[in-house]
Amino acid sequence: MTTPELQAPADGVAAAAEAPSCPFEPLLGRSDTRPAQGSACPFSLRGSADRTMRRLLRVPERKAATADSAQRLFSTSMLISALRCLLSYVVFPILTPLLGTATGVGPAIGLPIAVVALVFDVRGVRRFWLANHRWRWPITFIYLGVMALVTVLLVGDVLQLA
């Protein structure tokens, strides 16, 4: 199989129109390959860890979110998780007994807040991947740590209610 030579047309507009849509097309010798979903190139340039994480989070190949929306959702989900921890460690065990109110309601309130926090955490990490944010891996590990802590609190609440 021989590789075709690329010749640049005289004008720049025609060059853009005739340029291959995939960097591997000249090596393939044909342009009838099927592109990846949302991409002009049939080959994925992502690593196996990226592809696995995108499959796990059901993130399509094309960019569907912005970095700003990912950062806003990150702030919101961290705020909800922080609220859950504040209620679990400060308000319910310390302040409510001091005030003589609402003793024993911690798990009943903490359980739905923990579920909401986990939902927002999953949505947040998915949004970073949708935006193909450059900090998606470090943020994913931060989210996993927060989700582990909230899950421990969730299990503790379920055990207290049982």
Residue 143 is assigned to a structural domain of this protein: yes
**2 pLDDT higher than 60:** no
Do 112 and 68 fall into the same domain? yes
Residue 57 is assigned to a structural domain of this protein: no
Residue 5 is assigned to a structural domain of this protein: no
User: Measured in whole angstroms, how far is the alpha carbon of residue 58 from the centre of its chain?
Assistant: 10
Do 31 and 102 fall into the same domain? no
Of 14-28, 37-51, 129-143, where does mean pLDDT reach its minimum? 14-28
Residue 54 is assigned to a structural domain of this protein: no
Please give the tally of structural domains in the chain: 2
Residue 97 is assigned to a structural domain of this protein: yes
Distances in whole angstroms, Cα of residue 71 to Cα of each of 25, 120, 123: 36, 12, 12
DSSP code of 58?
A: T
Reference 105, options 93, 89, 118, 90; nearest CA is 93
Q: If pLDDT is split at 50, 70 and 90, which confidence band does 8 have?
A: very low
| The pLDDT value given to residue 104 | 65
Residue 2 is assigned to a structural domain of this protein: no
Do 41 and 91 fall into the same domain? no
Do 69 and 40 fall into the same domain? no
Do 96 and 154 fall into the same domain? yes
- Alpha carbon dihedral 60, 65, 71, 75, in 10-degree steps, equals -80
Residue 34 is assigned to a structural domain of this protein: yes
Do 72 and 98 fall into the same domain? yes
Do 108 and 37 fall into the same domain? no
Domain with 18, as residue range(s), is 12-45
Whole-model pTM: value is: 0.61
Residues 29, 53: Cα–Cα separation, whole Å: 32
- Please give the backbone phi and psi of residue 45, each rounded to the nearest 5 degrees, phi first: -95, 15
Tokens 């702030």 locate to 75
Residue 128 is assigned to a structural domain of this protein: yes
